[in-house]
């Protein structure tokens, strides 16, 4: 990604930049040798540190879960149970379960008209396969490289975006809170969430900087990675309109060319629709290859028993089950789902009220999309995972974290929740 050096960053170079001037022979000098714009270095350094600490902690947790829990073998896409064996390798291989199995299966064997592979969008498995060639066919390693590389990049872009929208302190907190979000385990695991997060946050960042062509391309990546990419198209469209209105207000006093303004607006709106090309391209692949473009959508019902539902009905049903089963031993999964989704919704209200419309639309579009499909037996299942890619939620917490004592509270509660959710993901088959 090419990033134009802004006037601000040129000034920062003159005075040593936000990270300070690099001393000779120091670590900053080593960073300076990397082909990274200098104003990205503090973000990269901070995000890499946060990423590494959480990454190591999660590997340790996997070792603990293997040693102290009683894990159940995950079922592979071909119906066979994934064999479990004793050994320290479980630190890495333990994460290969549930959807991760599907992604690795698709990366290895491709799609099939039989089975449920069509429900998994191709962005992540495609990249796993591509990186797998560089890893001499070791797909698990490739899957880690893709998802974790995407996560690190997403954190860096989020840092820069937050810095632009708020300030540096909020950016640092937002990155930290996202990395220890209760369901952040899916960003570090072999799931497609981190790749989607990268494409989504990059699309928003590029759109905010006025790089609409690149934003649209990032959106195509999002559309190829998860079905939620369609929401990104809507969010970008809102931003396109917002920028056009801002332009009109800004140039009202001047003598700007109305035709030029209209052209720019059309360009933005055109770029904002690009993410749909990702989703459409995938459906086209199914049509051309298997003559069934609807298969990826129909599988949600056929294979995963997800049914269309009104968002408020999904929530109400989720709440009813949460209250009914909450106090029953080993049966409180609906409560677990509801509590996490409830917190996400509460934080989402802040985004709707206080954040720029593009983020409010992305947040609520994403939430409404996943609430529109529900598995009747457990209406909010998977929804806590879907929340983790809705990055503006971290801003609400990051703003709250400015108050004395709240920062520690958010860190402690979030890290503890992440630990428990990860534990449940590793030791049960009920967190997906």
Residues within the interface to other proteins (CB under 8 A): 49, 53-54, 57, 61, 63-64, 66-71, 84, 86-88, 90, 176, 180, 325-333, 335-336, 405, 407-409, 411-420, 423-424, 428, 430
Rounded least distance, CB 151 to other proteins, Å: 17
Closest C-alpha among 210, 200, 196 to residue 392 = 200
Closer of 71 and 247 to other proteins (Cβ)? 71
Q: Where are the alpha helices (DSSP H) in 332-387?
A: 333-354, 357-371, 383-387
Rounded least distance, CB 428 to other proteins, Å: 8
Rounded least distance, CB 343 to other proteins, Å: 12
Q: What angle do CA 329, 332, 338 make, to 5 degrees?
A: 160
Rounded least distance, CB 144 to other proteins, Å: 20
Rounded least distance, CB 243 to other proteins, Å: 35
Rounded least distance, CB 350 to other proteins, Å: 21
| Residue 171: burial class (beta carbons within 10 Å; 0-12, 13-18, 19+) | buried
What token pair was written down for 361? 């639309």
Closer of 102 and 425 to other proteins (Cβ)? 425
Strands 307-308 and 373-374, by their bridges, are antiparallel
Closer of 64 and 368 to other proteins (Cβ)? 64
Closer of 176 and 203 to other proteins (Cβ)? 176
Rounded least distance, CB 329 to other proteins, Å: 6
Closer of 85 and 255 to other proteins (Cβ)? 85
Closer of 328 and 353 to other proteins (Cβ)? 328
Closer of 279 and 335 to other proteins (Cβ)? 335
Rounded least distance, CB 423 to other proteins, Å: 6
Neighbours of 177 (CB within 10 A): 24
Residue 95 phi/psi, 5-degree rounding, is -80, -10
Closer of 241 and 400 to other proteins (Cβ)? 400
Q: What angle do CA 22, 23, 29 make, to 5 degrees?
A: 55
176 contacts 51 by C-beta, under 8 angstroms: no
Closer of 60 and 349 to other proteins (Cβ)? 60
Rounded least distance, CB 54 to other proteins, Å: 8
DSSP annotation of 75: B
Residues making up the chain, counted from first to last: 432
244 contacts 374 by C-beta, under 8 angstroms: no
Q: Residue 110 in 3-state DSSP? A: coil
> 307: Cβ–Cβ under 8 A, 6 or more apart, which residues?
301, 373, 374, 375, 376
Give exposure, 222-237, as e/b (b: 16+ Cβ within 10 Å).
Answer: bbbbbbbbbbbbbbbb
> 212: Cβ–Cβ under 8 A, 6 or more apart, which residues?
206, 240, 267, 268, 271, 272
């Amino acid at each position: 990604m090419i990033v134009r050096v802004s006037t601000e960053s040129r000034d920062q170079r003159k005075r040593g930049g936000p990270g300070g001037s690099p001393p000779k022979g120091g670590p900053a000098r080593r960073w300076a040798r990397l082909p990274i714009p200098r104003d990205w270095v503090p973000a990269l350094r901070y995000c890499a540190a946060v990423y590494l600490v959480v990454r190591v902690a999660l590997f340790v947790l996997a070792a603990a879960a293997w040693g102290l829990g009683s894990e159940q073998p995950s079922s592979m896409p071909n119906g066979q149970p994934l064999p479990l064996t004793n050994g320290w390798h479980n630190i890495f291989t333990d994460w290969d379960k549930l959807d991760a199995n599907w992604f690795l299966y698709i990366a290895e064997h491709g799609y099939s008209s039989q089975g449920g592979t069509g429900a998994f969008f191709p962005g992540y498995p495609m990249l796993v396969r591509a990186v797998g060639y560089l890893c001499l066919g070791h797909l698990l390693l490739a899957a880690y490289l893709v998802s974790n590389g995407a996560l690190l990049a997403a954190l860096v872009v989020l840092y820069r975006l937050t810095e632009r929208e708020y300030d540096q302190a909020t950016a640092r907190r937002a990155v930290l809170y996202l990395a220890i979000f209760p369901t952040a385990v899916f960003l570090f695991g072999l799931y497609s969430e981190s790749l989607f997060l990268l494409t989504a946050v990059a699309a928003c960042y590029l759109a905010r900087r006025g790089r609409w062509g690149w934003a649209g391309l990032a959106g195509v990546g999002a559309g190829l990675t998860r079905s939620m990419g369609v929401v990104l198209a809507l969010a970008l469209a809102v931003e396109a309109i917002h920028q056009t209105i801002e332009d009109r207000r800004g140039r009202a006093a001047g003598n700007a060319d109305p035709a030029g303004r209209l052209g720019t607006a059309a360009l933005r709106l055109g770029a904002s629709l690009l993410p749909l090309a990702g989703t459409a391209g995938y459906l086209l692949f199914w049509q051309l290859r298997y003559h069934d473009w609807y298969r990826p959508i129909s599988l949600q019902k056929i294979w995963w028993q997800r049914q269309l539902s009104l968002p408020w009905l999904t929530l109400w049903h989720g709440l009813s089950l949460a209250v009914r089963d909450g106090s029953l031993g080993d049966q409180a999964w609906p409560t677990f789902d509801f509590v996490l989704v409830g917190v996400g919704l509460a934080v989402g209200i802040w985004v709707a009220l206080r954040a720029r419309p593009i983020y409010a639309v992305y947040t609520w579009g994403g939430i409404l999309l996943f609430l529109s499909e529900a598995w009747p037996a457990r209406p909010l299942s998977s929804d806590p995972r879907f929340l983790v890619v809705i990055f503006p939620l971290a801003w609400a917490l990051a703003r709250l974290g400015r108050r004395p004592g709240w920062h520690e509270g958010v860190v402690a509660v979030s890290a503890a929740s992440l630990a428990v959710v990860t534990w449940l993901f590793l030791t049960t088959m009920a967190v997906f």
